[in-house]
Amino acid sequence: MMNLLFDLRYYVLYPSFFNSVIYPGLIFTAILLLTTIWFERKAAARVQMRVGPYYASKRLGGFMQLIADAVKFVFSEVIIPEGVNPTLFALAPVLAVAMSFIPLSIIPVSVIPPSGSVFSIYFRDFYDPNIGMGVLTGLFVQYNMLLILAIESMYPVFVIFVAWVTNNRFAIVGAVRESYLSVSYDVLLIMATLSMSLEYHTLDLAKIAQSGIPGILANPVAAIVFFIAMLMGSARFPFEIAEAETELVLGAYTEYSGFLFVLTMAGSYVGNLVYALVFTDMFLWGWYPLSGFPGALLTGLKASIVVFFSVFLRAVYGRYRIDQALRGGWKYLLPLTFVSLFIGLVVGYIWIP
Amino acid sequence: MTDQAEELMKSGGMEIDVIPVSGELNVGPQHPGSGHLRIYVRLNGDIIEEAQVEPGYVHRAVEKLGENRNYIHLIPLVERPAILDSIHMNLGYIMAVEKILGVDVPDRAQYLRSFAAEISRIASHLYGMGILAIFIGHSTGFMWGFGDREVWVQILEALTGARITNSYVIPGGVRRDLTPTIVEMTRKAVTYMRRKIKDWENIFLNNPNVKARLQDVGIMTREQAIEWGAVGPNLRGSGVYYDVRKVEPYAAYSRLDFEIPVYKEGDGYARTLVRFEEIQQSLNILEQIIRDIPEGQILSDRFFKQIPPTRLKKWWEGQRRVVMPGYYASFRPPKGEAVTRVEAGRGELLYYVVSDGSAKPYRLRMITPSYRSIYVMQNLLKGVRYADLVSIYGSLDYFPPEADR
Amino acid sequence: MDSIKIKEYKKGDSSLNLVTGHLKAVGTGVKYFVKPQRITLKYPEESLSLPTGYRGMIRLYKDVCIGCTLCAMVCPADAMKMATDQGKKFPTINYGRCVFCGFCVDICPVDALKETGVHDAAFSSRRELFFSPDKFNQDFDQPPVELLVKKVKAVIDEEKGIKYVPDTD
């Protein structure tokens, strides 16, 4: 009996399972997703002279409203428009969401000390030679920085796919906007990441976080650029251009209803969380100085705050026009990334071993 | 093969087609950014080649209905096209009827008309600001516009007995008098609004995001504004000093001191600034009215004398409201016609009433300010980016039911 | 006419202004997030009592009415019509048509009609919207005010815009 329990614990806590399914993978993300949407609605309501969700559960400040909404969406009819391929129509949002979830299993959320942690038994399997410690991540790759961004940059392709299968003009216009945007924010993300990797002489997020030098102090310019690119990449205000309700109804997701609509909604929030976790590891110490499970919690907390702040901006901004966003990206932020690259080279040479 | 490719695409397929979408979009009548209106948009890439503004989805035939109703019956009808600005709709019509009847309106009633009209203007501008804000995605501006409007609607409710369909102005005067409670409410509301405007500036007007969306968008030059027949804040945003309150003062405006904000640029931001400063001017006017309002009757002597003395005692002396003498039920004005103009929230509102001596008007013509914006909008939408459609629409403060009548 | 002043706004912000503009906007947002200014009325837990003179549903005092038909004549929506009851004319009202302009109340020479403060009556069929003189003669059932429901009135406040304070009477 004890053996069975021990085996079970071994497999549940095995980082490849734990990270991709429990934390920060599926389950944690689903809960955080609901909390984020709840926070978005409540925060906007506070600024906007309103109360927001309230009656679904008065003690929890209306948190249950989100569960109720989700249940309602799941059971409502999925309307498939005429003249589309039903298989692709149903598959497209599923693929998009699946794609946005994948990076969560590669992001390091904590380190595993050789002993003293529940994860210590996996120390050897997830050993990171760069920091001389284990890394709590679903799949340890030395070049995880690049891999995460590479996978996440696939997401817009699926948005375009979604728009293409729905055969709706508003969706197509939304997809075109998304494709223009994705090109510009991906460059910014990669340049910001590159300047950090040059600064810390590594492509391993774990090493940056474990170095104990906060990236936001070492290279504030990169942090600003990364944050703005994150807002662009996850369709947050003021860059909610591809969805732009008053212009494009709902952009690429115009035709979706019911559960498929929930999936399309989820995609951008998951993307936001992925970028927020990378932002936390890269600029906000990540788990440092904790390790093991508390460290992972700390990373999650910081990332949640970043996500919450980025959804809070809905209450402050309208949306930019697509050409303004692109001009901002290419004309002002791209030169800034060169500055951050330069800062990265200099500071990395002087300060960071 | 190569020949064919060259035929199909210039430069043999090597050139990237930079125009991704070319085609038509039906913005409305079922669209989150259209209102009761269809805008048929022909796109070339992101640029609108042509936009046809198609009103008429909420047409109620107010003018035709007007020929079949008594003069008094028309009061609630004419304010329906723009219920958020109903005092002005009502006021213009009543002024035309009064011209035909040849009634003099007492001073206090004139001041009260201006008082209600300015509150209505503030409420209308806040509504327009809210719609503009949500059109460019700024949800806080939307909620604030409607939330702050509530303050003014409460004052109208206390004054007239209804929130929006006020039916406050009647031939010869107004229906209810200002009470000390309402004066106190207005004082507080003016203080509140002045305070809130500072936050409005921070989060909306001076927000770089909003500036980016409105500046240099939908530029209408002075000449174009005159040629296209723009009215109200849209005209004044293009550098034309024209306001019916100054040009042809009605109600108590000749005795009130206020400025007309005029901006030169003619773009969406200038129009928004004009509305914003008009709110501030209206606050000043309200303060002046509270200070200067003369004592006296609120209904013309001619009708006031017809009210039975017992009722007069109960209503006028008791509750400061006049009741209607039986005359109103079906009066026959002399033959004649009248044209009146008022400066409604969205601009100049014109009424033309013809009386043939019967109890019903022979003709009622109303030219509403939004009606004049249709042509302006259609012209402004040519050659702008698709995303600017909503910001031009919002900055013109176009209200479909008002245009359709 | 007074002096004509045509203003111009300053275009093209410097990058410093841009940054302060963004900071001010976010700052204002945060200010309201920390100290919200809410004007939502929590209906039905709080029920708004309307100001005196509110033009709500109308009731008839049958014993006062003289059957002069002025109310029916002035009614803009033809909601009020006269019906003969025991040889006497009385007004009837159809609330499906009434626009609550209150003209009938204002014009009644003997004050037989009265505006009540009730505005949230509910009907289950269209036929119920029609009030015969006898039904019209009765007071409206006020919505049940139990301990749960708080009667509040809207007060304009210099800081919060609208405040709801408990209605004492």
- Backbone φ and ψ for C152, nearest 5 degrees, come out as -130, 160
For position C148, what pLDDT does the model report?
A: 66
For position B5, what pLDDT does the model report?
A: 45
Per-residue tokens: B181? 């409670």
Query: Which of C28, C32, C39 lies closest to A46 in CB terms?
Result: C32
A51 touches chain C (CB under 8 A): yes
| Chain B positions in Cβ-Cβ contact with residue A47 (cut-off 8 Å) | 140
Interchain CB distance below 8 Å, A176 and B203: no
| Chain A positions in Cβ-Cβ contact with residue B137 (cut-off 8 Å) | 237-238, 240, 244-246, 317-319
pLDDT digits (tens, 9 = 90+) for A333-346: 888 898 888 888 88
Query: Which of C28, C39, C42 lies closest to A49 in CB terms?
Result: C39
Is the pLDDT score of A320 beyond 70? yes
pLDDT digits (tens, 9 = 90+) for B91-134: 999 999 998 988 888 888 899 999 999 999 999 999 999 999 99
Region B340-362 average pLDDT: 89
Interchain CB distance below 8 Å, C25 and B207: yes
| Chain A positions in Cβ-Cβ contact with residue B22 (cut-off 8 Å) | none
For position B12, what pLDDT does the model report?
A: 44
For position B293, what pLDDT does the model report?
A: 87
Do residue B175 and residue B230 come from a single domain?
yes
Dihedral sign, CA of C149, C153, C158, C161?
positive
Is the pLDDT score of B15 beyond 80? no
Interchain CB distance below 8 Å, C40 and A312: no
For position B119, what pLDDT does the model report?
A: 92
Is the pLDDT score of B1 beyond 80? no
What does the alpha-carbon distance between residue B172 and residue B191 come to, in Å, rounded to a whole number? 32
| CATH code where residue B341 lies | 1.10.645.10
Region B266-280 average pLDDT: 90
SS3 call for C114: strand
Between residues B283 and B315, which one has the greater pLDDT?
A: B283
Measured in Å, how far apart are chain A's first and last C-alpha atoms?
50
Interchain CB distance below 8 Å, A315 and C42: no
DSSP assignment of A7-29 equals: HHHHHHSSHHHIIIIISSSHHHH
Interchain CB distance below 8 Å, B192 and C7: no
| Chain B positions in Cβ-Cβ contact with residue A246 (cut-off 8 Å) | 32-33, 134-137, 390
Is the pLDDT score of B17 beyond 50? no
Do residue B24 and residue B116 come from a single domain?
no
Region A241-268 average pLDDT: 84
Is the pLDDT score of B10 beyond 60? no
Do C112 and C155 contact (CB within 8 A), yes or no?
no
Query: Which of A43, A50, A54 lies closest to C33 in CB terms?
Result: A43
pLDDT digits (tens, 9 = 90+) for C104-134: 888 888 888 888 877 777 788 888 888 887 7
Interchain CB distance below 8 Å, C32 and A43: no
At residue C141 the predicted structure's pLDDT band, cuts being 50, 70 and 90, is: low
Chain A touching partners, 3 or more CB pairs below 8 A:
B, C
Per-residue tokens: B119? 């509150």
Please report which helix (H) or strand (E) contains residue B48, including its range. strand B47-54
For position B190, what pLDDT does the model report?
A: 92
A49 touches chain C (CB under 8 A): yes
Please name the fold of domain C52-136. Answer: Alpha-Beta Plaits (3.30.70)
Give contacts of B 110-139 with A, CB under 8 A.
133-139
Percent of chain B with pLDDT over 70: 95
For position B283, what pLDDT does the model report?
A: 92
For position B2, what pLDDT does the model report?
A: 45
Chain B touching partners, 3 or more CB pairs below 8 A:
A, C
Distance of CA C135 to the CA centre of its chain: 23
B221 touches chain A (CB under 8 A): no
Do B192 and B200 contact (CB within 8 A), yes or no?
no
For position B122, what pLDDT does the model report?
A: 92
Interchain CB distance below 8 Å, B46 and A238: no
Instruction: Search chain B and give the residue with CA nearest A250.
Output: B32
Give contacts of A 228-287 with B, CB under 8 A.
237-238, 240-241, 244-247, 249
| Chain C positions in Cβ-Cβ contact with residue B202 (cut-off 8 Å) | 24-25, 27-28
Chain C touching partners, 3 or more CB pairs below 8 A:
A, B
Do C167 and C65 contact (CB within 8 A), yes or no?
no
DSSP state, residue A252: G
Is the pLDDT score of B23 beyond 80? no
β C46-48/C6-7 pair status: unpaired
Do B91 and B343 contact (CB within 8 A), yes or no?
no
Indicate the range of A329-338, B21-30, B272-281 predicted with least confidence: B21-30
Q: Which residues 6+ apart lie within 8 Å of C129 measured at CB?
A: C94, C95, C96, C123
DSSP state, residue A303: H
Region A144-161 average pLDDT: 86
Interchain CB distance below 8 Å, B139 and A44: yes
Region B21-39 average pLDDT: 80
Mutate: best of A51, A321, A326, partner B, most B CBs <10 A: A321
- What ranges do the domains of chain A cover? 2-110+139-350
Domain with B33, as residue range(s), is 2-51
Do residue B191 and residue B314 come from a single domain?
yes
pLDDT digits (tens, 9 = 90+) for B201-238: 888 988 888 888 888 888 888 888 899 988 989 988 88
B202 touches chain A (CB under 8 A): no
A350 touches chain C (CB under 8 A): no
Per-residue tokens: B282? 């209206």
Interchain CB distance below 8 Å, C33 and A47: yes
* C114 bridge partner residues: C59
State the amino acid at position A58 in one-letter form: K
Between residues A290 and B360, which one has the greater pLDDT?
A: B360
DSSP assignment of B103-155 equals: PPPPHHHHHHHHHHHHHHHHHHHHHHHHHHHHHTT-HHHHHHHHHHHHHHHHH
To 10 degrees, the CA torsion angle through B253, B259, B263, B266? -10
Do A238 and C29 contact (CB within 8 A), yes or no?
no
Is the pLDDT score of B13 beyond 60? no
Region A190-216 average pLDDT: 85
Q: Which burial class, exposed, middle or buried, applies to A75 when counting CB atoms under 10 A from its CB (0-12, 13-18, 19+)? A: exposed
What does the alpha-carbon distance between residue A319 and residue B212 come to, in Å, rounded to a whole number? 10
pLDDT digits (tens, 9 = 90+) for C70-86: 888 888 888 888 888 77
Please report which helix (H) or strand (E) contains residue B54, including its range. strand B47-54
Mutate: best of B209, B272, B398, partner A, most A CBs <10 A: B209
What does the alpha-carbon distance between residue C2 and residue B61 come to, in Å, rounded to a whole number? 40
SS3 call for C49: coil
Q: Which burial class, exposed, middle or buried, applies to A177 when counting CB atoms under 10 A from its CB (0-12, 13-18, 19+)? A: buried
Mutate: best of B25, B132, B136, B390, partner A, most A CBs <10 A: B136
> What radius of gyration, in Å, describes the C-alpha atoms of chain C?
25
State the amino acid at position B386 in one-letter form: Y
Interchain CB distance below 8 Å, C38 and A313: no
Interchain CB distance below 8 Å, A316 and C32: no
Choose the final residue of a domain: B33, B51, B69.
Answer: B51
Report the half-sphere exposure of C5 (CA within 13 A, side-chain side): 9
What does the alpha-carbon distance between residue B288 and residue B190 come to, in Å, rounded to a whole number? 12
CA distance C85 to chain B (A): 23
Size of interface A-C (CB pairs under 8 A): 34
Interchain CB distance below 8 Å, C7 and B311: no
pLDDT digits (tens, 9 = 90+) for A107-143: 888 888 887 777 777 877 788 877 778 888 888 888 8
At residue B21 the predicted structure's pLDDT band, cuts being 50, 70 and 90, is: low
**CA-to-CA dists, residue B382 to A177, A249, B42, angstroms:** 21, 22, 10
Region B25-54 average pLDDT: 83
Q: Give this complex's ipTM.
A: 0.85
| Chain A positions in Cβ-Cβ contact with residue C38 (cut-off 8 Å) | 46, 49-51
Which of C54, C157, C50, C162 has the alpha carbon at shortest distance from B187? Answer: C157
Three-class DSSP labels, B213-263: HHCCCCCCCHHHHHHHCCCHHHHHCCCCCCCHHHHCCCCCHHHCCCCCCEE
CA angle, B13 then B19 then B20, to 5°: 95
CA distance B369 to chain C (A): 22
Do residue B170 and residue B288 come from a single domain?
yes
β B173-174/B38-44 pair status: unpaired
Is the pLDDT score of C2 beyond 60? no
Number of domains in chain B: 2
